[in-house]
Amino acid sequence: MINNVIVAQQIEEVPFENIRSVKGEMIISEDFPSYLVDESKISGGHAEYLFFPNTEEEIVALIKKMKEEELMITISAARTGIVGSAVPFGGAVLSLERMDSVIGLGYDEDVRKWFLRVQPAISLDEINHIVRLKKLELNQSIPQEGNWVQKFEEEHTHYYPVDPTEMTASIGGTIGANASGARSFKYGATREWIRRIRVIIGTGEVLVIPRGKYNAIDGKFIVKTSKGDYELKLPTYKMPGAKNAAGLYTKPDMDLIDLFIGSEGVFGAISEADVWLKEHTPQMSNVAFFKNENDALDFVIKLRTSEKIKPEFIEFFEDHALTLLRNKQKEEPKFVDMPTISEDITTAISFDLPYSEETLNEYFSEISIMLEECNSSLSNTWSAYEDREIARIKHFRHAVP
């Protein structure tokens, strides 16, 4: 049965004074300036309070206090966002950086998938590090009696596939932004990888939202709280078909979890999330170079329509981006490691391919034919299989703003 009514849960409160906090615009701007900016480089950020809670209970206490003082709250994670949404303009900054642990690992038997339960500030890098190396304690199984950690040890390597390039981004921030990145071509954005969240809302209560439990009826949800019932009416605009991250997600019968994903923290602070994990297959990273942009675009069409090759993503670097990279190669020592891009190249196409030992040769001959049909060649292409080499190619992409 479809259910659009969610009941907020009360949790214990702690004294406001227990929370690690900094008060005063002057001291925050002088001693904690990094909390007033993000990668957007938007200037003018300022705040009266800066909070570093350790627990949900502390978040509840500070939300209630800010409500009393009628101050708005800006949630801040790794501040790698490029739209300025973590930059405060007055009020309080709620930094969740102390809540950065793995809570546990579980296996959802209904859909036969592994998931990791984490606190919001853990970075995507750290999630992958822990999952790949299986650095989990036996008592971290969810539920405990499932012995999932032990069973996971015997599994193939897994990972969290969302990759917005900047892997220091946190899970909370990427849910806030519905971050996507190159791999969304094949795997979709963050939305597709979130199983369940806990959110602390403005009443200081918690919503526990698993995917598939609450769906909108007649374009609305009802949130029952200690302060009364709230009707959440969904926006009536139609989502564009093209990839985008603008505005709240909306769909007539949508899942409640999707309203929170991509909402930039306007409904509350995500304090916990379950993320799906995927089995890892070896990847080959490639960057193919072209003298002519039309040839590069023809190559993209071939990659997208190939029967044999199914890239994880395809990304396009135009002439200005390559000029910028060439200049960086000259200026920054860390780029010395990269091969030089010759001056007659105007366009590059970057793509990752999952492969196995059996398919590798076949893939190379297919790519070689496609490249030659587009006036390029394997000798004009960088390819990497080992982690270190793959990291170099990633570095190349990361360097383009």
Ligand X SMILES: Cc1cc2nc3c(=O)[nH]c(=O)nc-3n(C[C@H](O)[C@H](O)[C@H](O)COP(=O)(O)OP(=O)(O)OC[C@H]3O[C@@H](n4cnc5c(N)ncnc54)[C@H](O)[C@@H]3O)c2cc1C
Residues making contact with ligand X (CB under 6 A):
38-39, 74-82, 85-86, 96, 120, 164-166, 169-170, 172-174, 176-177, 179-181, 264-265, 269-270, 398
Which residue, 16 or 267, has its beta carbon nearer to ligand X? Answer: 267
Rounded to the nearest 5 percent, the helix, strand and coil shares of the chain are 30, 25, 40
Which residue, 2 or 242, has its beta carbon nearer to ligand X? Answer: 242
- For residue 138, report the phi and psi dihedrals to the nearest 5 degrees: -60, -30
Radius of gyration of the chain, Cα coordinates, nearest whole angstrom: 23
Which residue, 39 or 389, has its beta carbon nearer to ligand X? Answer: 39
Query: Which amino acid, residue 9?
Result: Q
The HSE-up count of residue 124 (CA atoms within 13 Å, CB side) is 23
| Cα–Cα distance, 283 to 384 (Å, whole number) | 8
Which residue, 173 or 204, has its beta carbon nearer to ligand X? Answer: 173
Which residue, 45 or 120, has its beta carbon nearer to ligand X? Answer: 120
Q: Residue 152: helix, strand or coil by DSSP?
A: helix
* H helix intervals, 285-342: 293-305, 319-331
Least Cβ distance, residue 31 to ligand X (angstroms):
19
Least Cβ distance, residue 250 to ligand X (angstroms):
18
Least Cβ distance, residue 21 to ligand X (angstroms):
17
Least Cβ distance, residue 192 to ligand X (angstroms):
13
Least Cβ distance, residue 181 to ligand X (angstroms):
4
Least Cβ distance, residue 156 to ligand X (angstroms):
27
The answer to whether the beta carbons of residues 275 and 187 sit under 8 Å apart is no
Cis-peptide, bond into residue 15, ω within 30° of zero: no
In the bound complex, which residue of the shown chain has the CB atom lying closest to ligand X?
Answer: 173
Which residue, 123 or 376, has its beta carbon nearer to ligand X? Answer: 123
Tell me how many degrees the CA angle 295-338-169 measures, rounded to the nearest 5: 90
Residue with tokens 């949900």: 56
Indicate left, alpha or beta for 317 from its phi (over 0: left) and psi (-120 to 50: alpha): beta
Least Cβ distance, residue 253 to ligand X (angstroms):
24
Least Cβ distance, residue 146 to ligand X (angstroms):
27
Please report which helix (H) or strand (E) contains residue 151, including its range. Answer: helix 148-153
Residue 20 CB coordination number (10 Å): 12
* H helix intervals, 195-318: 256-260, 293-305
Q: Which residues contact 177 (CB under 8 A, 6 or more apart)?
A: 81, 83, 85, 164, 190, 245, 262, 264
Least Cβ distance, residue 358 to ligand X (angstroms):
32
Residue 221 CB coordination number (10 Å): 20
The answer to whether the beta carbons of residues 84 and 38 sit under 8 Å apart is yes
Q: Which residues contact 58 (CB under 8 A, 6 or more apart)?
A: 14, 18, 19, 51
Least Cβ distance, residue 124 to ligand X (angstroms):
9
| Cα–Cα distance, 282 to 312 (Å, whole number) | 11
